[in-house]
Chains A and B, each alone.
Chain A
């Protein structure tokens, strides 16, 4: 899938725009970027990103990863997700990459890692099941 098409895909999701999400292609990998925005802060005194913003960012990342392999179908829907918060989200840009662990006929299992300065120091991880759209 072309970079421009992925940008269009992200731009079509109002929630992704609200978070400020951008897409980058690194070779064959899709990398999503959550730029630092003051509106994504949970606690201004520390400061730290809102856990919900980081969680929502990772959900969008999982859905974008499934969608880019089936660009003509609607988005998959989250059924159940587990989010582990590992480090404070600093007020800098955050990256996320998803891996489809298993794709069945109805459901895909996806893992997402979110990190900031170093890939080896994730700030959060998501693992979840997503209901795949029916090909009509």
Chain B
């Protein structure tokens, strides 16, 4: 395992764990790679958006996709630093199945000096049958440091607005 990937595996759980709202809704870190991140959201009755169908609120899926895109963006830069959401487009393909864990897989396919472009998919087991898809743009909001040498907990708490 390269030093970079090793650092990213430290970054992932730390970033999710140090985010109060992610903890509040029960979000879990799953996996990370260069420019890629996977998170999960176990079914939680506190997140129901439609009491008749017991389907999770779109907003909870939005939050999961936002967090996954932000983590993929951080993992997409060569240097480590805080990022914030600029824009987020979500398309809801179908209702999430009540009781099922939702998984979000995000791919940061392009970065410039200060901007990251990410697409993501949320599904409940089969990525070919998505619950929602997202397209996001994140921006760098603070100083970036060498990812292999960075103090991760310090770097991510200096300006991540998402």
Give the secondary structure class of B's interface.
Answer: mixed
A74 to B70 alpha-carbon distance, docked (Å): 33
Distance of B152 from chain A, by nearest CB (Å): 13
A52/B64 in contact, CB under 8 A: yes
Chain B residues contacting A38 (CB-CB under 8 Å) are 20
A82/B89 in contact, CB under 8 A: yes
Of chain B, the residue at the smallest CB distance from A59 is B59
Stretch at the interface among B3-11, B28-36, B43-51, B113-121: B43-51
Distance of A114 from chain B, by nearest CB (Å): 12
A44 to B90 alpha-carbon distance, docked (Å): 26
Cβ of A26 < 8 Å from any Cβ of B? no
B20/A52 in contact, CB under 8 A: no
**Size category, B interface:** 35 or more
B161/A56 in contact, CB under 8 A: no
Chain A residues contacting B57 (CB-CB under 8 Å) are 13, 15-16, 56, 59-60
B157/A83 in contact, CB under 8 A: no
Of chain A, the residue at the smallest CB distance from B21 is A50
> Footprint of A on B, CB under 8 Å?
18-25, 45-52, 56-60, 62-67, 70, 82, 84-92, 95, 156-162
A-B contacts at CB below 8 angstroms, number: 160
Q: List 12 A-B contacts (CB under 8 A).
A: A14-B47, A17-B46, A18-B24, A46-B161, A48-B84, A51-B84, A56-B62, A78-B92, A81-B89, A83-B90, A85-B84, A85-B85
Other A-B pairs, 8, CB within 8 Å; known A15-B47, A46-B159, A78-B90: A17-B46, A46-B157, A49-B21, A52-B59, A52-B62, A52-B66, A59-B58, A75-B49
Distance of A3 from chain B, by nearest CB (Å): 20
Partner of B92 from the list A16, A56, A80 (CB cut-off 8 Å) is: A80
A71 to B18 alpha-carbon distance, docked (Å): 40
A56/B87 in contact, CB under 8 A: no
Chain B residues contacting A63 (CB-CB under 8 Å) are 49
Chain A residues contacting B56 (CB-CB under 8 Å) are 15
A7 to B162 alpha-carbon distance, docked (Å): 29
Of chain A, the residue at the smallest CB distance from B94 is A77
**Contact mask A90-102 → B, CB, 8 Å, 1/0?**
0000000000000
B161/A42 in contact, CB under 8 A: yes
Chain A residues contacting B52 (CB-CB under 8 Å) are 74
Partner of A81 from the list B19, B47, B90, B159 (CB cut-off 8 Å) is: B90
Cβ of A40 < 8 Å from any Cβ of B? yes
Distance of B120 from chain A, by nearest CB (Å): 12
Chain A residues contacting B66 (CB-CB under 8 Å) are 50-52, 55
